[in-house]
Structure 1
Amino acid sequence: MAPPKKLKKAKRKAKDSSKCNSSTETRTAESQASDNDWWYSFWHKNYDSGPDVPIEEDEAFKFFFRVSKKTFEYICNLVREDLISRPPSGLINIEGRLLSVEKQVAIALRRLASGEAQVSVGGAFGVGQSTVSQVTWRFIESMEERARHHLRWPEPERVEQIKSELEAKSGLPNCCGAIDATHIIMTLPAIESSDDWCDQESNYSMFLQVIVDHQMRFLDIVTGWPGRMTISRLLKCSGFYKLCESGKRLNGLLKVSADGAEVREFLVGNSAYPLLPWLMIPYEGKELSPPMSTFNAKHRALNLIATRALSQLKGAWRILHKVMWRPDKHKLPSIILVCCLLHNIIIDNSDELHPNVMLSSHHDAGYKEHICQQIDSHGDTMRENLCRHLHLSLLTANK
């Protein structure tokens, strides 16, 4: 089923000083028609581009750009002032008109969402490779500044809500989120191909570390570090680690466990992370006691939230999932940040991704998990307290 025909442009009215208001309304209608034209032109070119493309218009829009039309309008309004006041040179389409803000945002979103080459993205919109490059970077620069409020550590009231939701899911009190990391794979020119960026799987990559809440919303990210690092080293290089170690983060009210022990605020992470007073990892070993196995099961349920968030991020914004061709390592962190901001904007606007864009595999498929051997004694005590708390809570519930 083909999409509907393009909207007809509003007819020009004869110029008449006595009909100034009518002329203004006509120009507005023409502008709106032009803004809508880019979508119908794009859809006509791409509606049969693959078996997964939805037939219904709104779902097709979400499939191609990852957001609903309502969220798309919100994003356009975020960056509109920047894209209008400081447009890059040469942004003229084949019809000789300056690209609308809506079309510029669509080009940038499609580039990030598809991960396709700039030539391919440009062909879908009737613009050149250089235009796609300029538009995408201007969009990223604007989003970095205008959308920052969508990614920040939550206020105390919100933290309490997160802890309540996570405890209801797992039975673990005072958990503030889950942490995980992924590799953004890239190719590098021979002149830049140093061992620093070559990771354990012989890929050139850049790390992204995220902390997520119960909604898979990013609360904190760290990126820009070489993939050769270990995950535990990445953690210790982060500002979040320094804040926690200095008592300025995860420093909320203590809770009391089922047997009267104190439980501080903490995160959950996989075995690649160290065991710290504020970072809980699962027990290792084949012969675990029933309480330890219960803790691991509850821990796994929470840690899976971060794993799924990264799989969703890479599935939605495929530029992070495909091998990036010779990216500017100084600009790549900005691209990663903006994809994370878009991830949060979708959640904050109660939007949902089209199910066909999700990754079917792990976000770091092909990478083996390395186990960190660092165990802090206070962290070990904290984990034991949580383990006993779960065990006693289950005994009480089963009576």
Structure 2
Amino acid sequence: MVPPKKSKKNKRKASSSHPPPQLEPKATADTDWWYSFLQKNSALGHTIPPDEDEAFKCFFRVSKKTFDYICSLVREDLVSRPPSGLINIEGRLLSVEKQVAIAMRRLASGESQVSVGGVFGVGQSTVSQVTWRFIESMEERARHHLKWPEPERMEQIKSELETACRLPNCCGAIGATHIIMTLPAVESSDDWCDQESNYSMFLQGVVDHERRFLDIVTGWPGSMTMSRLLKFSGFFKLCEVGKRLNGPVKMSAERAEIREFIVGDCAYPLLPWLMTPYEGKGLSASMASFNAAHKAAVSLASRALSQLKGSWRILHKVMWRPDKHKLPSIILVCCLLHNIIIDCGDELHSDVALSDHHDPGYKEQNCQQEDSLGQTLRENISSHLLYYEMRPLY
């Protein structure tokens, strides 16, 4: 969904050879917070892009146009409740724009509430209250940005994936990552202690060709294996009863059936609707061809999770004693913001995605389960790929 068009406003841009200018605030509550925010960050010695629009994206991950769209989603909720206590140090009520900016900066930077509050001129408790109000509203108002595609949209996704990765009838890629946290001693049970001795919560996501999340599962302890997490998810149950990945069957080059499926790495079981790579040495030509195409597709999930945690650093940093009942909502809203960036056509800075893996320090898991129907489908796809590789070009 594209944000509604706004009237253009004149913008003053800084020269690249000079520090950001002391921009004169406009006499409206929805813009003066931005200029004050810029000045405080400049005074703290933070590097600020000379172009104002780029500076905005650097701090909030979205363009001003997309920011306005996000404000339009939550405005009704943020103004309908009595804004008790939401007053800055100048004695003025916080505008919706400033509330959204505070919440998005907290999510984007992962900095402490004290640090975020300092550059906005508000206290720690205000940052906490504003951020949670924003999360509650987004969880309800932005849900339409994360949903399983309708048949027509799914056909487009499958076409794009086949063009990019050569896999026919592929609907996306699945992956998972750990959200690491510290817990009070009374909550530090083995249930939340994962394989690397961190306390963590899982996020599982299915993504499309544009790395947009189509389905997510979170709230489960990081001590689970990824294959067990999958089987506890609603997505698994829907696929098993034929309510997901149940679209039209395609025929291979050798007239074998290829049903809809997603791809996952070796941490997942091979199922009739989930393709994993062949393992071992001495693979045949068709197996090697399948693995190459599979690798290209499954990397979409890893890259999406890297972009998610790079954009919304609150998910990448160790979270200090989060409320485990609220953390799933924070994770969901970060995924919604990730999708909104894609849906609105925003381009992220090249250095936003993490330079290393989204789960550094975690060993690769391996699931040995292979379903016979899954084996048959994988063989059909492998033969199909090899057929077109071996076909003469004349």
TM range (shorter): over 0.9
1:89 Cα deviation (Å)? 2.0
Residues of 2 paired with 1:95 and 1:205: CA distance?
A: 40
CA distance in structure 2 between the aligned counterparts of 1:8 and 1:228, rounded to whole angstroms: 50
Counterpart residue type for residue 387 of structure 2: L
Aligned residue number for residue 138 of structure 1? 133
Runs of 4+ with >6 A deviation: none
The answer to whether residue 204 in structure 2 is matched with residue 209 in structure 1 is: yes
Q: Aligned with 1:357: secondary structure?
A: coil
User: Aligned residue for 2:5?
Assistant: none
Instruction: Mark the CA change 1:51 to 1:384 in structure 2 (over 3 Å): closer, same or farther.
Output: farther
Task: Give how far 1:395 is off.
Answer: 1.0
Tell me which residue corresponds to 1:43. 38
Q: Which residue of 2 aligns with 1:190?
A: 185
- 1:4 paired residue number: 21
1:269 pairs with 240, 254, 264, which one? 264
SS in 1 for 2:30: helix
Tell me the CA shift for residue 47 of structure 1: 3.5
Q: How far apart are residue 294 of structure 1 and its match?
A: 1.2
Query: Percent of aligned positions with the same letter in both sequences?
Result: 76
2:219 aligns with: 224
CA positional deviation for 1:51: 6.9
Unaligned runs of 5+ residues in structure 2 are 1-17
Change (3 A) 1:48 1:178: farther
AA of the residue aligned to 2:298: N
Gap change, CA 1:398 and 1:367, over 3 Å in 2: farther
How far is 1:49 from its partner?
5.4
Read off the aligned partner of 1:320 and give its amino acid letter: L
Contact 2:83–2:93, Cα closer than 8 Å, also in 1 = no
Q: Deviations over 1:275-305 (max 9, x none)?
A: 0000000000022112211111110000011
Deviation by residue 1:326-378 (Cα, 9 ceiling, x = unmatched): 00000000000000000000000011112232210110111011110000000
* Larger relative helix fraction: 1
- When residues 352 and 49 of structure 1 are mapped into structure 2, their CA distance, relative to the original with a 3 A threshold, is farther
- Match for 2:326 among 331, 335, 342? 331
The equivalent position to 2:288 in structure 1, one of 293, 296, 301, is 293
SS in 1 for 2:76: helix
Task: Give the AA of the match of 2:258.
Answer: V
For residue 153 of structure 1, the aligned residue among 148, 156, 161 is: 148
Amino acid at match of 1:220: D
- Higher Cα radius of gyration: 1
2:308 maps to 313
The question of whether the paired residues in 2 share the 8 Å contact of 1:259 and 1:389 is answered with: yes
Task: Report the CA distance between 1:37 and its aligned residue.
Answer: 1.1
Match of 1:117 in 2: 112
Letter in 1 for 2:126: T
Cα deviation, residue 172, structure 1: 1.1
Note if 1:346 corresponds to 2:346: no
Matches within 5 A, 1:93-112: 93-112=88-107
Q: TM-score, normalised by structure 2?
A: 0.94
Deviation of residue 52 (structure 1)? 5.5
How far apart are residue 67 of structure 1 and its match?
0.3
Shift of 1:46: 1.2
Equivalent residue in structure 2 for 1:78, among 52, 73, 80: 73
Q: Shift in Å at residue 53 of structure 1?
A: 3.4
Deviation for aligned residue 1:4? 2.8
Do the aligned residues in 2 keep the contact of 1:7 with 1:36 (CA within 8 Å)?
A: no
2:86 counterpart letter in structure 1:
L
In the superposition, relative to structure 1, how do residues 276 and 8 fare at CA in structure 2: closer, same or farther (>3 Å)? closer
Gaps of 5+ in 1: 10-29
